[in-house]
Structure 1
Amino acid sequence: MKFFLIEIEYVAPIEKIDEVTPAHREFLQVQYDIGVLLLSGPKVPRIGGMIIAKSSSQEELLDMMKDDPFLKQNCVKYNYKEFVPAKYQVFLKDWLSHSFEKTI
């Protein structure tokens, strides 16, 4: 399993971001439910967001994220950064060590 920090940059007016945010969060919830995502949220100040995710490859993650309403409506740019969790809180061990089943 590979781990990624996805940095989100808003490229649309905040009014458009506000309009699309509920659909974006619904999309993210599906990924939480299958175990892909660990956490997500807006930056402060609100110029984008951050997501911590896992996937078997960056290509698989890119394929999944193409269905994000933010991306489909040209609201954001993504920057993917792969990293290796060398240290972590004990309560994250299960999430870090388990794979997930991709749903279609």
Structure 2
Amino acid sequence: MFILSLTYTADLSEVDRHIEPHMDWVKDGYDRGVFLASGRKNPRTGGVILARGTRSEIDALVATDPFTVHGVADYEVTEVLVSRTAARLEGLKE
């Protein structure tokens, strides 16, 4: 599993110009079965996505995010080898 932590690098007004295409990109990630959970950081400085796949698949996907394409956010991608979960989250273990 991967934690995709994005941090805005532009003013929120510029981020908001790209929010709709970004949310379409997020929806596509869910539709493809790659994204498991996502949401905004509080305070609103970026967001976090939990994802599954290979590192190369995740890196390629991040490169297509409109936030990346337009340079309004940077991503930190961390691989996590999940070894224990709550019972209802067993599917997160690889």
Task: Please give the TM-score of this superposition, normalised by the length of structure 1.
Answer: 0.82
2:9 is matched by which residue type in structure 1? V
Kindly indicate whether the alpha-carbon contact (under 8 Å) linking 2:18 and 2:67 is maintained by their aligned counterparts in 1.
Answer: yes
Correspondent of 1:79 among 76, 79, 82: 76
Correspondent of 2:37 among 36, 39, 49: 39
Task: Please give the TM-score of this superposition, normalised by the length of structure 2.
Answer: 0.90
Q: Which runs of 5+ in 2 are unaligned?
A: none
Q: Percent identity?
A: 29
Question: Alpha carbons of 1:97 and 1:84: their partners in 2 closer, same or farther (altered >3 Å)?
Answer: closer
The Cα of 1:97 is off from its aligned counterpart by 6.2
CA offsets 1:25-67 (integer angstroms, 9 cap, x no match): 1111111011100111111111111111011x21211111211
CA offsets 1:66-95 (integer angstroms, 9 cap, x no match): 11111111111000111111222333334x
2: CA distance between counterparts of 1:80 and 1:23? 21
Where in structure 2 are the equivalents of 1:1-104 lying within 5 Å? 3-55=1-53, 57-94=54-91, 96=92
Q: Which runs of 5+ in 1 are unaligned?
A: 99-104
2: CA distance between counterparts of 1:88 and 1:33? 24
Alignment RMSD, CA only?
1.5
2:3 is matched by which residue type in structure 1? L
Runs of 4+ aligned structure 1 residues displaced above 4 Å come to none
Q: How many residue pairs end up in the alignment?
A: 94
